[in-house]
Structure 1
Amino acid sequence: MQLRPPSRVMKAARLGAFHQSRLSFMRQLLRRLKREQWQFQRTVWSIDGQGVGRAVYVARGPERAYSLVAFAHDLDPALRSDRVIATAWDATFALFDGVPDEVELQRLQANVPKQEAGRVSSRELCMARANRSVRLFDHVLQELAAGRQPDCAFVEQVGYLMRTTAVYGSGKFGAADRESVAARPELSAPFQAEMLTVFLIRAFSVDLVEHLAQVQAPGTAVVLEPGIRRRFGLGNSTGLGMAPFLLNHPMLLNNWVQARETALQRVRAVRRPTPAEQGMFVDFVRRAQADARSWHSDHPLQGQRILELQQDFKALQLCMGEGILQREYPWDALYRWAENRLSLEAQEQLVSLLLEPYGHLIDDLGQTMQADEQLGFAVDGSMGVGALKQILATDYAWVAAIDFSTEQSHSLFWYVSEEKLEPRIGQRFSEPGEALEQPLAVARDISRLQQALNGCDDGQTVATFLLEHPEHRHVVRRVQLAPGCPYADIQDNLIDRALLPIDLLRCKLSFFGATRFDPRSDRWVRINMYQNAPFPHELSQVLADDWSYPGLGSQEQRHACIVE
């Protein structure tokens, strides 16, 4: 069984249809927390009746502890914004390495609420900020205070009490560099500190609304029932700032996608599934189908994709009912059928569903998803130009299909905004700033390199070539990575007028484990994180990895109002 080729997988439209899977970083984290019996404690809760104050959540593992330090604020509604340029928030957070004492808490309180304007130390691993989803937060508060559970349909419509507008790590604002903690087992997989931060912020958001209800009406207030409680994830608003990550980290992107493709290959190679594996797959299809019926987006493109997905699930059920799962190698047969019959959205959701019964086959691949990118930084100057040309001919043949002589093919340019140091996209022929263009136009730069190499002797070294043409150093480095990193490049023109940046955002967010993608434009998207997951205090009582889709027929599901 072969891996799917990069020419099929690495198109922006397909990457923009990826779904969360067993290999997503949230799910890797919760499996570890469960397996290693991490303990959680809310050690500080100094929040007043107006929802202002601080709280500390401590997560203790086998070797060390981490603490989410949360600051709740009285935010003027006029200042509430999803934009990264906001300067005030309903809550701000830091993930602290260890357990902070009072001196550390005072230091954090003086800086964390300021975010960019503050100063933090290497004891902080992540910084974050969040705003309330005001209508739902207020509704839940009022209902709990009155002794009632919130309206299930409203909960389902929004899905979170708070949404983050940024979760920063890896040295941002002076926090700890990735290299300083990457060797720790619990943080070695990508973005584990960020995923732990989000997991604990979600708990804080629910604790906050229950606390305010109790303060408002101590005689009648109730807490959320467990099934409804789990329907609250943590929202997030993500814009263009995330998109260049996939382009700037080709080794990491390769390792993420290669792990996912290897997992699919292993599952497709299963000759005869056990009855338990087959039953689990059928159950997850039904659960995902029900979940798709409650997935909503006002964005025309995503709304159409959801409608197609709902229809494709019906076709999938019919196909399964005709006996395809009774064949030898049924998963391979099902995938091949889907590739010819279903939309990209459904094809990639099927890939994720096929992985669900096979943790014993694929979970080890999570260990391959990190990357030491310093290993790929040096340029091999001793390589011959002929060898470089051969790599270009083999791995970058897709570039030849792009006609860069047209205005449409290079109408966009990527730059970094002066105001917030965040990536942005400009219109090359109608906006100023082209001189600030970032080297993210991979296809165009490959084309330019090929043209520069045309007149070079094959026996010439790369070092000699770069002495004469230093402007190509960044793209030569990328080309030399290609033979060992086949999934490192998005095989599309990323400065074309037709580019949909949300495809890049969704690809990265799917590896995080995000769900309910809801684009607000072609440049930013809202998502949900950890929806349906157990809370920290529940991890010891429930399965750690059976939450990616809500279960059917359970008491929790009925409370959650997922309608068949």
Structure 2
Amino acid sequence: MSFEATQRAAHHPAPGEPAPRPPAEVMHPRWLAALPANPLSATRTLMDRMNRERWEISLVRADLTPEGDGTLVYRIDAGGHVLSVAAFSAEPRMVNRTPRIIGSSWDVLGALMEGEPDDERVEQTRREMPKLYAGRAADRTLIWFRANRSLRAFDEVRDSLAAGRQPDEERLLEAGYLLRNTGLDGNGTFGTVDFSAYGPDHPLALPYHAQMLAAYMMREISFDLVESLARLRDAGAARLAPGLKRRVAVGNGSALGLVLFFMNRPRLVSRWIGLYEEATARAMSLAWPADAPELDLFDDLLGRLITSKEEDLTPYRLFPRGPMVAGELRQMRRELRARRARAHADGTGLTLGAVAAARPSGTGPEAVELFRSTALELDREAWEPRLGELVVDESMRPDPTWSVARLRDAIHATVPWTTDYPRNRGDLRNRVWYKSRASEEPRSGHAREIPADTYDLATNPVDEVGALAALLDGAPADRPVGELLLAHPSALRATALVQNLADSPYALARVDYRDDELIPVYLIHVLNAFCFGLEKTLDAQRRLLRGLIFEYAPPREALGDPDARHWWAGGRR
């Protein structure tokens, strides 16, 4: 079914009804691709906590040569919980230097660890990190991270500061970052602490907070590194201006590995999107008096987003350009102001849902979702206490005690769309998902290009649930599922999927992962932007996504600043 047809067929709740949108609407790949960085994204919720608790981050050691070789060590007081970061800088080498995971040469290696930054663990990390897959993280290490300098910006900024002046702002912001993330590894990888061991009272207890804190520290490292190298060239070197620091982000690139993530983490995906849908449905249904200060805040945030989008000249390919989204948001803000004026004259109120429903028919999903997600800022007391729900049990074990009849009913109740999904022509369904032998790098390609014995990593409900349904149709209703699986082990994965997703309506994208015409970047965007919180996500080749992490975020010396609360909207309130 086309995107437009899905929108026509979707059920739209009555005005004021706080009901989440149906999965058939939200889980269409084109709409998924429009879900933006939002108040529930990991960068936002982490920064909320860092600002609220006034985390203190101190550079306790900086040993660097003029070429950039050396060590930076940090201590983080995370609301009374001590963390540390050890980072090892090297002069850039142009050999095996790549943003992909197959690289073996990095400009910065680092680790986020529990506890005080003791010398023993710092030195163990220095020895082990260059080995990467053959290395072993020091005790109580949460994240290993890797980064490279921006070849466009880093040297120019260093040289400008050494000369006692600020760098050219336009050239710096054209790059957008001084360091580019090339790896954030945790949750057991390389011997790092498993996420389940953090516990609910840990300051990084929410999904991907540890990874995003490591990304934030990359940004701080980039500032300290460029300023330190400038001072080694001239003791009177300037420091990077606070306003420029807020505009500089961490660069990031993501590819097909996040599609496999989307396939393999359905309960997490569903809970994140489900919480967003429940929270936005409520926020859009709230009735406000015309003079409510909350609406003043909402109007202000929309204005800042409009300005930010107008200034975003990123040459997107599949996604709409920033000025186009700004124009659509401006129309919605005009509708908001007109309704406030009428409500004020009539002595009545209004809902943001009614404003959104009155949008012009051609308004794109990006503007709609920015409007909806910004509404969450007016209802934080409702959804903030629920953030712990993002920690989910992701085990997907099949239950062999079910009967065939019960499993058959579950297919119709949980994933009915899989059995009649409109597949492409057979000669256009040849996509295979795999990892390269040389580097473990996730890839996707046409079946004719791949050796016959390649293990296909895809979980494709369109095929697998359909095959399971056909298998069940020929089995006695009271037969235990376990007996069926012993005879047909290929049905195990689909069985586990159906049994475990009854309470996860937003788990599965309405896609066929075998389809040659699938656009992978739509699903990559869900994780990068919606879950993690990246901005300016530039798509390339339909399967790569580049973006910025923590643009506009307060640097460590500004944590706790009242102006920092809405940092993501651009500028200062």
Please confirm whether the aligned pair reaches a TM-score higher than 0.5, indicating the same fold: yes
Q: Any conservation in 2 of the 1:287–1:551 contact (CA below 8 Å)?
A: yes
Counterpart of 1:561?
A: none
Would you say 1:519 and 2:539 are equivalent positions? yes
Counterpart of 1:6?
A: 23
Which residue identity does 1:223 align to in structure 2? R
Deviations 1:80-130 (A, max 9, x none): 321221110111111112123222222111112333343223421111111
Q: Secondary structure at the match of 1:426?
A: strand
Would you say 1:531 and 2:548 are equivalent positions? no
Q: Any conservation in 1 of the 2:313–2:321 contact (CA below 8 Å)?
A: no
Which of 113, 130, 134 matches 1:113? 130
Q: Any conservation in 1 of the 2:284–2:372 contact (CA below 8 Å)?
A: no
Q: Give the distance between the partners of 1:324 and 1:487, measured in 2 at CA.
A: 34
Shift of the 524–534 alpha-carbon distance from structure 1 to 2, 3 Å rule, reads same
Q: Any conservation in 2 of the 1:30–1:544 contact (CA below 8 Å)?
A: no
Q: Give the distance between the partners of 2:131 and 2:358, measured in 1 at CA.
A: 53
Counterpart of 2:414?
A: 395
Alignment of 1:27-38 (within 5 A): 27-38=44-55
Counterpart of 1:560?
A: none
Which of 386, 401, 405 matches 1:365? 386
Which residue identity does 2:41 align to in structure 1? S
Which of 359, 370, 373 matches 1:349? 370
Task: Report how far residue 544 of structure 1 moved.
Answer: 4.5
Q: Which runs of 5+ in 1 are unaligned?
A: 555-564
Identity rate of aligned residues, in percent? 28
Task: Report how far residue 290 of structure 1 moved.
Answer: 1.2
Would you say 1:425 and 2:444 are equivalent positions? yes
Q: Give the distance between the partners of 2:239 and 2:562, measured in 1 at CA.
A: 20
Which residue identity does 1:437 align to in structure 2? D
Alignment of 1:218-229 (within 5 A): 218-219=235-236, 221-229=237-245
Counterpart of 1:18?
A: 35
Shift of the 182–416 alpha-carbon distance from structure 1 to 2, 3 Å rule, reads farther
Aligned positions, number: 549
Deviations 1:458-495 (A, max 9, x none): 33332232222221111111111222111111121122
Q: Any conservation in 1 of the 2:460–2:513 contact (CA below 8 Å)?
A: yes
Q: Give the distance between the partners of 2:350 and 2:390, measured in 1 at CA.
A: 27
Which residue identity does 1:489 align to in structure 2? L
Which of 57, 66, 78 matches 2:74? 57
Counterpart of 2:4?
A: none
Task: Report how far residue 380 of structure 1 moved.
Answer: 2.4
Shift of the 381–199 alpha-carbon distance from structure 1 to 2, 3 Å rule, reads same
Q: Which runs of 5+ in 2 are unaligned?
A: 1-17
Shift of the 42–378 alpha-carbon distance from structure 1 to 2, 3 Å rule, reads same
Task: Report how far residue 338 of structure 1 moved.
Answer: 4.3
Q: Give the distance between the partners of 1:500 and 1:102, measured in 2 at CA.
A: 47
Shift of the 452–340 alpha-carbon distance from structure 1 to 2, 3 Å rule, reads farther
Shift of the 8–305 alpha-carbon distance from structure 1 to 2, 3 Å rule, reads farther
Which residue identity does 2:245 align to in structure 1? R
Would you say 1:309 and 2:309 are equivalent positions? no
Q: Any conservation in 2 of the 1:50–1:74 contact (CA below 8 Å)?
A: yes
Alignment of 1:212-291 (within 5 A): 212-219=229-236, 221-272=237-288, 275-291=292-308
Task: Report how far residue 410 of structure 1 moved.
Answer: 2.5
Which residue identity does 2:385 align to in structure 1? D
Q: Secondary structure at the match of 1:105?
A: helix
Q: Give the distance between the partners of 1:322 and 1:287, measured in 2 at CA.
A: 19
Q: Any conservation in 2 of the 1:97–1:124 contact (CA below 8 Å)?
A: yes
Shift of the 364–340 alpha-carbon distance from structure 1 to 2, 3 Å rule, reads farther
Q: Give the distance between the partners of 1:400 and 1:103, measured in 2 at CA.
A: 57
Task: Report how far residue 145 of structure 1 moved.
Answer: 1.8
Shift of the 224–59 alpha-carbon distance from structure 1 to 2, 3 Å rule, reads same
Question: What is the TM-score with the length of structure 1 in the denominator?
Answer: 0.92
Q: Give the distance between the partners of 1:407 and 1:299, measured in 2 at CA.
A: 31
Task: Report how far residue 518 of structure 1 moved.
Answer: 1.0
Would you say 1:499 and 2:518 are equivalent positions? yes
Shift of the 307–551 alpha-carbon distance from structure 1 to 2, 3 Å rule, reads closer
Would you say 1:466 and 2:485 are equivalent positions? yes
Q: Any conservation in 2 of the 1:161–1:232 contact (CA below 8 Å)?
A: yes
Would you say 1:332 and 2:353 are equivalent positions? yes
Say which is worse superposed, 14-23 or 450-459, in terms of deviation: 450-459
Shift of the 523–214 alpha-carbon distance from structure 1 to 2, 3 Å rule, reads same
Q: Secondary structure at the match of 1:301?
A: coil
Which residue identity does 1:154 align to in structure 2? R
- What is the RMSD computed on CA atoms of the aligned residues? 2.2
Which of 129, 133, 154 matches 2:150? 133
Q: Give the distance between the partners of 2:163 and 2:437, measured in 1 at CA.
A: 49
Counterpart of 2:566?
A: 546
Which residue identity does 2:495 align to in structure 1? V
Task: Report how far residue 543 of structure 1 moved.
Answer: 4.2
